[in-house]
Homo-oligomer: A and B are copies of this chain.
Amino acid sequence: MTEGRSRRPGPRIEEVARVAGVSKSTVSRVINGEKYVSERSRQAVHRAIAMLGYSPNHAARTLAGSRANAIALVISELGSRVLADPFFAGVLRGVHAELAGRHVQLLMMMNQPLDGEDQVSYLTGGHVDGALVVSLHGEDPLPRTLHETGLPIVVGGRPLAGGAVPFVDSDNFNGALQAVRLLVSLGRQKIATIAGPHDMAVGMDRLSGWRCGLAEHGMSVALVVHSDFTPESGALAMEELLRRAPDLDAVFVAADIMALGALRVLQARGYRIPDDVAVVGFDDSVLASTAVPPLTTVRQDVEQFGRTLTWRLLAELAGDEKLPQSILLPTSLVRRTSA
């Protein structure tokens, strides 16, 4: 990467100091994340860095005379949720598999009670050569902020904030569309959905696919409840749907982990699955095949997702300039008993 970069040199620390109206050593202190800098100077330096597209990461690396030989996997979720959801275990397996034999240290960073600026200053302080960022919520500025400092990053899942940040995503829209088409072909008339969070592209894209599948058959798109990718929230959402439509005959659940909660509620109320209510999940995680009854679901290859993220980042670090900006991975229906 050093080679790739030296061909198109960026602005230098002197320019940042001049634009910010501070000394070079103040710029250096801000970049190194020291606390003994006035808030005013710190903000001026950050503005200058953003304006000039300066890469403190590159500078710090040059200073140290070596690369960090490490990349970060930043997961924008609380640790407790990360460790309970098999999605992240799958992504991690993929990242580790792609790193095998490369002598690159992986650092996992999850949400903790500290502000985003601490995370940014660590990531851009020369401690990592690049970052994978997954599970973003809302218009989180993190990927754009990192990208603007020149740190190579790849986002897992389309970032809602848009911009020119490279990302890898599963084809969530088409997966959901296929699920609804299956339910329609089975003669289901009243198809509800337990959608993912409002503030994540993965939630919105799966919801769009469900809507489109119903709309193409002139069916109602009224039965939607949003949820947050935990079994408990899936159960609550199912209860809400049954209150609104006790005669629903199918539900598309935007994640297997929420479908477990939904199955529990349906069975407790005496609905037979799939006879009374057909259920389709999403992910094809281990939870789907061990569910009772085994879950018909949309398969996304989570390990491949992790591998592709990592491959895209390492290729950029190796100086490859012909990389696709973003990559969409296919999804496919897996038929089991629940639909």
Contact = CB atoms under 8 A, between A and B. Distances in A.
Interface of A: 28-29, 32-35, 60, 63-66, 68-70, 72, 79-80, 82-84, 86, 88-89, 92-93, 96-97, 99-110, 112-115, 118-119, 121-122, 125-127
B108 A110 contact: yes
A170 B86 CA distance: 28
Contacts of A97: 113
Copies of this chain present in the complex amount to: 2
B122 A69 contact: yes
Contacts of A72: 107
Contact of A109 (B33, B34, B105, B127): B105
A126 B89 CA distance: 29
Contacts of A113: 96-97, 99-101
A106 B127 CA distance: 13
B28 A65 contact: yes
B105 A118 contact: yes
Contacts of A34: 65-66
A64 B63 contact: yes
Contact of A80 (B92, B108, B109): B92
Contacts of A65: 28-29, 32, 34
B32 A64 contact: yes
Given A32-B66, A99-B114, A106-B110, 12 more contacts: A32-B64, A33-B69, A63-B64, A64-B126, A69-B118, A69-B122, A79-B96, A80-B93, A92-B110, A105-B112, A106-B112, A107-B107
A314 to B, nearest CB: 14
A166 to B, nearest CB: 23
Nearest to A123: B105
Nearest to A99: B112
